[in-house]
Structure 1
Amino acid sequence: MSSSVERATTHWPTSSSSRLLVDGELRAGGAGEFPTVNPATEEILGFAADADARDLDAAIGAARRAFDETGWARDPAFRARCLLQLRDALTRNVGWLRTITVAEAGAPSLLTRGPQLEGPIADLGFFADLAESYPWITDLGRAEPMGVPTRRWVHREPAGVVAAITPWNFPHQINFAKLGPALAAGNTVVLKPAPDTPWCAAAVGELIVRETDLPPGVVNIVTSSDDARGAQLVADPRVDLVSFTGSTATGRAVMASAAASLKKVFLELGGKSAYVVLDDADLRAACAMAAFAVCTHAGQGCAITTRLLVPRARYDEAAAATAAAMSGIRVGDPADPGTICGPLISARQRDRVEGYLRLALEEGGRFAYGGGRVPGMERGFFVQPTLVTGLGNESRVAREEIFGPVLVILPHDGDDDAVRIANDSPYGLSGAVHGTDLERARSVASRIRTGTLSVNGGVWYSADIPFGGYKQSGIGREMGVAGFEEYLETKVIAESA
């Protein structure tokens, strides 16, 4: 077992096995345990509690009681205090959490200083502050609707029990982007993390029990190897709202299941975002940024730009510049502080990416760089950063989400054509525009139908910024005040004046 694996397992308070958090207690799973694997070495790190249907039923019941029978939903000051306790506990244990995250998620250590760990921990403070500063009651004053003197108030109230179902690619960021606003708003939560990263979530459960005053049942964390547990959680009538992040195909299934009981549903789904390079841009700088973006965390991010749109007259020059930039990006051990592109999460995901690489050739594409596994790396789920040339936007490789370090370069014939190509996608999550004339770049960005846009390298990720997409990239927003309000209901109280 490697040193990184040893550090990950020996920091557990009891053993190399994690536990469920149900109704304020840490417990074993009714279905036993399942292994969690280091994607950089293919070694088993340890085991996670495997919940059965009864475990999940108990977690939902605990969340329902905590919402209905305690004062949690009506005490924003207490909620803020608990969120700050959790933030501080996570901060004190950040070294332990970093080791787990690098080993289990294959996240490059460099990224844990930002969006993979430390950034999301700090973001909890934003939602703690919001719990106390938000205008929960708005006085609309006196009016006479239909001639009746009336005083009206708008109350914002928590939705109830939240089912939070999260993926493996940015486990802490996505877990906290749901837990933070849901708890600040006064909801109770059942969190079901992806089976590929159960320790990242279970570690949070350990800290909740040991180092916070969160009441029993307010947060329940249920790890499982069985997809049926997610379906059970969505269908349960005691759940009021489902917040799901994952693939568009699974999002459709979640939405269909939730429709039976008309639950509120928030979906953050896939993307195939365009990086638009205008003809007045610094081409080499833009191509280098696009190459870096698609290689970050091995391309395993829904908002990563995976289509590079460049002026047709400079297509070959752009392809060469992008390939050269890719050749300088380090692929390897995520524990190495210089690594940008680590492993894919699993053999299953590597097989998926390799399937798209074969498809690229079948569709008539070529590899300007990469195109297979990393030479000399016999262990770990590594794939080379890859630049695909020779395809059009109608190809499957240019239209479907691959979730790997694969960039497709496409030509455009000016600003209008670039906007057309960028928008010719079933997705609308993210994107980027690069150009010297700022007003022109802003004009292009304003016409691209996505939830977030970066202009000349601007960063849109922040606790106060709403994140989400158009079209098949999802419904609703996460983060920011808009994301917080996804977890609220609106009530109007009118009384005779």
Structure 2
Amino acid sequence: MPDVAREERMLVGGRLVTASDGGVFGNIDPATEEELGVTADGTAADMDAAISAARRAFDETGWADDPQFRVRCLRQLQQALTAHAEELRATIVAEVGSPVALTRGAQLDTPVEGIGWVADLAEGYSWVSDLGVAEPYGIRSHRYLRREPIGVVGAITPWNFPMQINLAKIAPALAAGNTVVLKPAPDTPWTATLLGRLAAEETDLPPGVLNVVTSSRHELGHQLAEDGRVDMISFTGSTATGRTVMATGAGNLKKVFLELGGKSALVALDDADMKAVVGNAAFQITTHAGQGCAILTRLVLPRSRYDEGVEMLVETLRGWPYGDPADPGNLMGPLISERQRRRVLGYIGTGVAEGARVALGGGVPEHLPTGYYVEPTVLADVDENATVAQEEIFGPVICVLAHDGDDDAVRIANNSRYGLSGMVISASAERARSAAHRIRTGTISVNGGLYYGADVPFGGYRQSGVGRESGLAGFEEYLEIKAIAEGV
């Protein structure tokens, strides 16, 4: 792979800048535990400057009124990201700890391709809808609807799929005519700062339309959510932090989009092909070491085939290739930090204390003494109300539960405060579809179908979030509707 691309500076008002006080923070490689370099440690003053620049760009330029120009800028950004894909790939592997194979999909290539879909959508979008002529109260009126950008969007993003989530917010927000202030997670800053540099140097985006403020200080996210000059917050992260963001935004009633946690279930009905069930379960829980909100972390097996399923899953995962994320043969890398590893190991301990059986894994792999690794772990005999069955672990840990028929399987899948994703597998497409329709989640797969794509709305029910990201619905999250009536 090429050398890791680095960008220490932030993008504020069209300029690549250091922190106002000169501060920096370290960027750690989770596979080696070594510092890759440093990034500007933005201050409250830097965030204020970014918000001011975004406000001016929205209020004082023609950005919001020129969809064709916006489309051109988006296509330029896509071209720049494509031209620098190999550098970005190396950076993502290094700072995220993601297996390089994932950069061929959701970590890089797929979201970059998705910019083109957003540009096409904006290019052909009906910004005005005609409602015709009516005579309310005898007043003859021609009525129509106009879609307009919300204004300044604050985007707060996590570390697990940084390029995918950064672009899932930035592309539709800009296409809709908004200006953006991006506050990325401090664990993965360069994916965002490189995006900022390419936007500044290789597109015609006007100064202030896109701003990127990196910081080790989480309070800058609070500042962004609280500021009255920001019209909308788009947040992806934990449900606990999402509650705080929503409460903070409520102070001035700004729009808040939330994409939060999940505890999704893979449901196998009693006629399912157990090899397919186990293959999906193993792939899900080791994808990016389980660090994904929509990953299927509960395996719900028919009681009559429970032992068979657990045994097959253990044997499948026993030889699963994991380790150095730069090795294309590895399908799982490290967790993002030592803090996250302690959290995952703590959950495994809690599971055992509450009656779960460790069928595989459960600790730190002996052959990987360096890096924040946890073994692929199977917790069997898990009670559906146990902590590990109810809370998001965000690690390579799958909880296996038993069900007593289709209705019971659906009930167990719905026994969660979350509702993000899921999967149902059955030899009968009709049975699988029936169960899937009753599971209360924003996305669900039937017999291995894949919903992921730039054109598909993504989001969840209940405490998995508010609103949808991607697709037409995700684009329209960033628009206001103005109803206009003209006397005729």
Pairwise TM-score range, normalised by the shorter structure: over 0.9
- 1:264-303 equivalence runs, <5 A: 264-303=255-294
In the alignment, the residues of structure 2 paired with residue 378 and residue 327 of structure 1 have an alpha-carbon distance, to the nearest angstrom, of: 18
Q: CA deviation at 1:136?
A: 0.3
Secondary structure of residue in 2 paired with 1:237: coil
Preserved contact between residue 162 and residue 192 of structure 2 (Cα < 8 Å): yes
Partner residue in 1 for 2:447: 456
What amino acid sits opposite 1:345 in the alignment? Answer: I
2:161 paired with 1:178: no
In the alignment, the residues of structure 2 paired with residue 138 and residue 360 of structure 1 have an alpha-carbon distance, to the nearest angstrom, of: 54
Q: CA deviation at 1:325?
A: 1.2
Preserved contact between residue 270 and residue 304 of structure 2 (Cα < 8 Å): no
Partner residue in 2 for 1:21: 11
What amino acid sits opposite 1:383 in the alignment? Answer: V
- 1:447-486 equivalence runs, <5 A: 447-486=438-477
Of the three residues 110, 119, 125, the one matched with 2:110 is 119
Structure 1: which 4+ aligned runs deviate by more than 3 Å?
none
Of the structure 1 ranges 344-353 and 279-288, higher mean CA displacement relative to structure 2 is found in 279-288
CA distances 1:22-78 after superposition (whole Å, capped 9, x unpaired): 000000012410000000000000000110011000000000000000000010000
Partner residue in 2 for 1:237: 228
What amino acid sits opposite 2:10 in the alignment? Answer: L
In the alignment, the residues of structure 1 paired with residue 73 and residue 63 of structure 2 have an alpha-carbon distance, to the nearest angstrom, of: 11
What amino acid sits opposite 2:14 in the alignment? Answer: G
Secondary structure of residue in 2 paired with 1:472: helix
Partner residue in 2 for 1:340: 331
Secondary structure of residue in 1 paired with 2:257: strand
Partner residue in 2 for 1:252: 243
Of the three residues 15, 38, 41, the one matched with 2:29 is 38
Preserved contact between residue 50 and residue 224 of structure 1 (Cα < 8 Å): yes
Preserved contact between residue 292 and residue 325 of structure 1 (Cα < 8 Å): no
Partner residue in 2 for 1:364: 355
In the alignment, the residues of structure 2 paired with residue 187 and residue 203 of structure 1 have an alpha-carbon distance, to the nearest angstrom, of: 21
Q: CA deviation at 1:312?
A: 0.4
2:415 paired with 1:424: yes
Q: CA deviation at 1:402?
A: 0.2
2:378 paired with 1:382: no
What amino acid sits opposite 1:172 in the alignment? Answer: M
What amino acid sits opposite 1:126 in the alignment? Answer: W
Secondary structure of residue in 2 paired with 1:293: helix
Secondary structure of residue in 2 paired with 1:280: coil
What amino acid sits opposite 1:278 in the alignment? Answer: L
- 1:120-269 equivalence runs, <5 A: 120-269=111-260
In the alignment, the residues of structure 2 paired with residue 210 and residue 302 of structure 1 have an alpha-carbon distance, to the nearest angstrom, of: 33
Secondary structure of residue in 2 paired with 1:427: coil
Partner residue in 2 for 1:7: 3
What amino acid sits opposite 1:7 in the alignment? Answer: D
Q: CA deviation at 1:210?
A: 1.2
In the alignment, the residues of structure 2 paired with residue 490 and residue 476 of structure 1 have an alpha-carbon distance, to the nearest angstrom, of: 16
In the alignment, the residues of structure 2 paired with residue 147 and residue 373 of structure 1 have an alpha-carbon distance, to the nearest angstrom, of: 76
In the alignment, the residues of structure 2 paired with residue 59 and residue 260 of structure 1 have an alpha-carbon distance, to the nearest angstrom, of: 21
Preserved contact between residue 285 and residue 398 of structure 2 (Cα < 8 Å): yes
In the alignment, the residues of structure 2 paired with residue 381 and residue 422 of structure 1 have an alpha-carbon distance, to the nearest angstrom, of: 31
In the alignment, the residues of structure 2 paired with residue 51 and residue 261 of structure 1 have an alpha-carbon distance, to the nearest angstrom, of: 24
In the alignment, the residues of structure 2 paired with residue 386 and residue 284 of structure 1 have an alpha-carbon distance, to the nearest angstrom, of: 18
Preserved contact between residue 7 and residue 99 of structure 1 (Cα < 8 Å): yes
Q: CA deviation at 1:328?
A: 2.5
Preserved contact between residue 140 and residue 152 of structure 1 (Cα < 8 Å): yes
In the alignment, the residues of structure 2 paired with residue 369 and residue 240 of structure 1 have an alpha-carbon distance, to the nearest angstrom, of: 48
Partner residue in 2 for 1:105: 96
Q: CA deviation at 1:156?
A: 0.5
In the alignment, the residues of structure 1 paired with residue 461 and residue 82 of structure 2 have an alpha-carbon distance, to the nearest angstrom, of: 34
Q: CA deviation at 1:151?
A: 0.4
CA distances 1:409-445 after superposition (whole Å, capped 9, x unpaired): 0000000000000001000000000111001110100
Q: CA deviation at 1:284?
A: 2.2
Secondary structure of residue in 1 paired with 2:252: coil
What amino acid sits opposite 1:253 in the alignment? Answer: T
Q: CA deviation at 1:277?
A: 0.3
Partner residue in 2 for 1:443: 434
- 5+ long unaligned stretches in structure 1: none
Secondary structure of residue in 1 paired with 2:298: strand
CA distances 1:342-373 after superposition (whole Å, capped 9, x unpaired): 00000000010010011111111111111101
In the alignment, the residues of structure 1 paired with residue 373 and residue 453 of structure 2 have an alpha-carbon distance, to the nearest angstrom, of: 30
2:316 paired with 1:325: yes
In the alignment, the residues of structure 2 paired with residue 7 and residue 37 of structure 1 have an alpha-carbon distance, to the nearest angstrom, of: 16
2:59 paired with 1:68: yes
Preserved contact between residue 81 and residue 112 of structure 2 (Cα < 8 Å): yes
Q: CA deviation at 1:154?
A: 0.3
- 1:395-434 equivalence runs, <5 A: 395-434=386-425
Secondary structure of residue in 2 paired with 1:301: coil
Partner residue in 1 for 2:78: 87
